[in-house]
Amino acid sequence: MNQRLATIALCVLALSGPALSGEPAEPVTGILGAFGTEVKFLVAQLENGEERKIEGIPFWTGRLRGRRVAIARSGVGKVNAALTATLLHVHFRPAEVVFSGIAGAVNPDLKPGDLVIAERTAQHDYGTVTAKGLERKGARSPVTGERNPIFFPADPRLLKAALDAKQRVRFDPLDHGEGPHAPRVVQGIVVTGDTFIALPAKRDELRKELGADAVEMEGAAVAQVCYQWKVSCLVIRSISDLADEKATGDIRRFIEAAARNSALLVTELVAALAAPAPPAP
């Protein structure tokens, strides 16, 4: 019996790798995007890239600017995003998760190609509907029963790194019909819901009630998963439309350039994460 236990213990040690041998595991950055367009620019840059499917969902691993990464296409919507974020966490144990992609502008000062680095994210369609309207609230944790916040704050380290990284990126200009527009990057609020917003009245409501700068369909769901497991998270979105009647056509027109701009910023952020920490004073 003792011999059998010893054999099992050796197998566990062999499968566990460096973490049990005293060597710290090299950190992994998880990167998610809803569409293939949103992740293809990142996957194309991978060194020693490999693709594998987990429960049918494609994940790409390798090095991006010196950092180990795991990239996945989540699909559209909060459930798809949460499902993929869960698989990412369980199989790769990322040190941080970054969501990269496109969004509709809620802030009237934003144009296609501009970027929003989310200092906070929220689900705009979660809560209780009464005669007074939607009373927003956070979901309760299935583990502790405690209610999550309505707004999930970005990880301060990632937020600062992204704000620093924007200074080093040359973004692709977009032509809106009035000549090339040089994209600007703002720090703001991104809200998430399972409805595609193509109505100015709803867009204005999100601006008034939540202070939103951009609206999309995945970010806050990923932020909630990361909040649950205490994993650092940051959402970066590039504007593809104005969340109005022209939104569907504008996405077709601007998705490539907008997704690329988001990927450019994420790439520079990842490079910063890969850089060695400065020596302590």
Residuewise pLDDT in 10s, the chain (281 residues): 444 433 333 333 333 334 433 445 789 999 999 988 899 999 999 999 999 999 999 999 999 999 999 999 999 999 999 999 999 999 999 999 999 999 999 999 999 999 999 999 999 999 899 988 899 988 888 888 889 999 999 999 999 999 999 999 999 888 777 778 889 999 999 999 999 999 999 999 999 999 999 999 999 999 999 999 999 999 999 999 999 999 999 999 999 999 999 999 999 999 999 876 554 55
- Between CA 134 and CA 127 the distance in angstroms is 6
**In sequence order, what E strands does the chain have?**
28-33, 47-54, 57-64, 67-73, 96-105, 115-123, 127-130, 133-136, 151-153, 174-175, 180-181, 185-192, 214-216, 232-241
- At residue 278, the pLDDT reads 53
* Residue 231 to residues 184, 222, 267, Cα–Cα distance (Å): 28, 10, 20
Strand bridging mode 96-105 / 232-241: parallel
Active site residues: 38, 241
- Between CA 152 and CA 43 the distance in angstroms is 28
Domain layout of the chain by residue ranges: 25-274
- Between CA 25 and CA 28 the distance in angstroms is 9
CATH for 25-274, options being 3.40.462.40, 3.60.15.10, 3.40.50.410, 3.40.50.1580: 3.40.50.1580
- Between CA 232 and CA 29 the distance in angstroms is 10
- At residue 21, the pLDDT reads 39
